[in-house]
Structure 1
Amino acid sequence: MELVWLEDFIALAEHGSFVRAAEARHITQPAFSRRIRSLEQWMGVSLFVRTPQGTTLTEAGAHIHTRAFEATSRLYRLRAEAQEVAGKAAKTLQFAATHSLSFTFFPRWIRQVESGAPIEAIQLHSDSMLGCEQLLVHGEVPFLLCHRHPDVPSPLAKEHFDSQQVGNDTLIALMGSSVEGNNATSQLPYLAYTEASGLGRIVAHRLYGNSEVLALKPQFSSHLAAVLMSMALEGKGVAWLPKSLAEQELSDGRLVRALDEQWDIAVQIHLVRPIAPLSVAAESFWMRVSDQRPSG
């Protein structure tokens, strides 16, 4: 029995696809499939129903799903406790944050949370939403900072993770000022987020059934909001960008609205953590954030 088998099991249960789960685990699909088969052989039962449309948990798989997550969480917690006892990383707070929040929001927010009581050490891991979720699920960080929308479900199950809102943001359809008035918005290319992007999930939800707004056939896509902003600044198309990221460019007039305010997407910024107990330093930080969380 290997820990990675349980992590693979959790990933496949979440993604419902060998292809997507293998990508999330950063291994080839054949290697991923072999590890799933090894787990099923060790268990002595089939854990997944395999169909051309994807995979679903068998009754046995559903039975062990929660326990598998709890088991991996306990093992990572045990490792963290051992490191604390040894004096390693005891007071270092680890965060995963999406790229767009790492650039602007995180530095301001962490200074506000510190508020005269500096945190001894911080390590920030910046990645796509998918990458950040995997860091949190695998116990490599205790906290995830990300955008969320109440109508877009998170793959992080509520029975395993808790979150609290720590800020607000707005996604605005923006384009470079150089193309303002020169092109009809519907003729401009749509600069899209990839599937690995949390912002992409939110924008796709908002635009579903509204294909008349733009010629929604992306000519360029990226999981990085900063890359899409650079493309928009170069006059390459329209992108829904976080106001927190594009604030300076809007103020300077280098980016302008491509669509009116009815197409703005109000989003929340959340700090997410596992429900399982964290280190003393991490639990203390969570309580500090709770005391400072904004209303509404």
Structure 2
Amino acid sequence: MAEPHQADDGHGPGGGLAHRVPDLGALELLLAVARLGSLGAAARELGITQPAASSRIRSMERQMGLALVDRSPRGSRLTDTGALVTDWARRVVEAAECFDAGAQALRSRRDSRLRVAASMTIAEYLLPGWLLALRAERPDTAVSLHAGNSAAVAERLLANEADLGFVEGLSVPTGLDSVVIAHDHLIVVTAPGHPWARRRRPLAASELAATPLILREKGSGTRQVLDSALGGLARPLIELSSTTAVKAAAVSGAGPAVLSELAVREELAMRRLVSVPVEDVALARDLRAIWPTGHRPVGPARELLSLTRG
């Protein structure tokens, strides 16, 4: 079979390899034809129809400007040029297999661990359920969790010390992307013996702002939302570094506190704490997943993110 005439079709030195070199699927087909001696058998092995295989060979021949396969009623055989190209194709496919094995090893190493950073409320009241669900899907993935305030979570993401973070503040620092995964409400709570527990009218926002409260430390999402909603806060009665500590202080009667409704459901149900209505102020907030800008979560981080939104 004569070599096809090579026209000026971009197969010269320019155009880039992607335009001049056949794709892996075509090279694998050519290798199968060489090994099996039949285009039909090669098509069956690769799970495609014979017309599709024949079309792919013709397309490869046009792309390269070379005749690779002689077709006859007795079957298909490689031309002398096709045999030479097949030797080159084998090296390319072997290199691609090494490339794939290396990429798989990197994915396996990535998927073997997941570093999560979360603000206290999310870490204590939402993440345990999400992580149990993730473990059911990925039992071989080792998960480490760092709990801190929202500012600390953002710092860990920016320092590449976490793969995925969860925060409850008002804004996301520069360099991080985010998505809202849930909504939360802050409520004012006191011990049953506190005077506010016996109020018949809602608490005014101005009175709440002027009252020393049991508060989380600066940098916490809860405090950011409260400070913004009230336009400023009085000097804290007590400043503590965890939601659990704030709740325990409120239960003891030390004073009023503002906490996520997620954190106080049990205490409210058992009347260890009492919710105090507040008028003319919205204490709602978004809970967000965050990650470094331009690095959308992949692997276990992506699966965890999907679970939080489910």
TM-score of the alignment, normalized to the shorter chain, above 0.5: yes
Question: Which whole-Å CA distance do the structure 2 matches of 1:291 and 1:130 have between them?
Answer: 24
The counterpart of 1:218, out of the listed 236, 243, 261, is 236
User: 163-172 or 88-97, which moves further after superposition?
Assistant: 88-97
Q: How does 1:187-198 map to 2 (within 5 A)?
A: 189-198=212-221
Give the TM-score, by structure 2 length. Answer: 0.55
Partner of 2:254: 236
Partner of 1:118: 138
1:253 aligns with 2:276: no
Question: Which whole-Å CA distance do the structure 1 matches of 2:107 and 2:138 have between them?
Answer: 23
Q: Deviations over 1:203-230 (max 9, x none)?
A: 1001106x7xxxx332211232222111
The counterpart of 1:99, out of the listed 107, 112, 120, is 120
Q: How does 1:90-169 map to 2 (within 5 A)?
A: 90-112=111-133, 114=134, 116-119=136-139, 120-148=141-169, 152-154=170-172, 156-157=173-174, 160-169=175-184
Q: How does 1:1-296 map to 2 (within 5 A)?
A: 85=106, 90-112=111-133, 114=134, 116-119=136-139, 120-148=141-169, 152-154=170-172, 156-157=173-174, 160-180=175-195, 189-208=212-231, 216-260=234-278, 263=281, 265-277=283-295, 282-288=297-303, 291=306, 294=309
Give the TM-score, by structure 1 length. Answer: 0.57
Partner of 2:26: none
Structure 1 runs of 4+ with >6 Å offset = 182-185
Say what the alpha-carbon RMSD is for the aligned residues.
3.3
The structure-2 alpha-carbon separation of the partners of 1:168 and 1:189, relative to structure 1 and needing over 3 Å to count, comes to: same
The structure-2 alpha-carbon separation of the partners of 1:217 and 1:95, relative to structure 1 and needing over 3 Å to count, comes to: same
In the alignment, structure 1 segments of 5+ residues that lack a partner are 1-80
The structure-2 alpha-carbon separation of the partners of 1:139 and 1:181, relative to structure 1 and needing over 3 Å to count, comes to: closer
In the alignment, structure 2 segments of 5+ residues that lack a partner are 1-101
Identity of aligned residues (%): 17
Question: Which whole-Å CA distance do the structure 1 matches of 2:239 and 2:176 have between them?
Answer: 30
The structure-2 alpha-carbon separation of the partners of 1:86 and 1:265, relative to structure 1 and needing over 3 Å to count, comes to: closer
The alignment partner of 2:184 has SS state of: strand
Q: Which amino acid aligns with 2:228?
A: H
Question: Which whole-Å CA distance do the structure 2 matches of 1:294 and 1:94 have between them?
Answer: 19
The alignment partner of 1:100 has SS state of: helix
TM-fit CA distance, 1:87? 7.1
Question: Which whole-Å CA distance do the structure 2 matches of 1:239 and 1:181 have between them?
Answer: 11
Contact 2:166 2:289 in 1 (8 A): yes
The structure-2 alpha-carbon separation of the partners of 1:169 and 1:115, relative to structure 1 and needing over 3 Å to count, comes to: farther
The structure-2 alpha-carbon separation of the partners of 1:241 and 1:175, relative to structure 1 and needing over 3 Å to count, comes to: same
Question: Which whole-Å CA distance do the structure 2 matches of 1:105 and 1:234 have between them?
Answer: 25
Contact 2:188 2:257 in 1 (8 A): yes
Q: Is the radius of gyration larger for structure 1 or structure 2? A: 2
The alignment partner of 2:171 has SS state of: coil
Q: Which amino acid aligns with 1:201?
A: Q
The structure-2 alpha-carbon separation of the partners of 1:262 and 1:115, relative to structure 1 and needing over 3 Å to count, comes to: farther
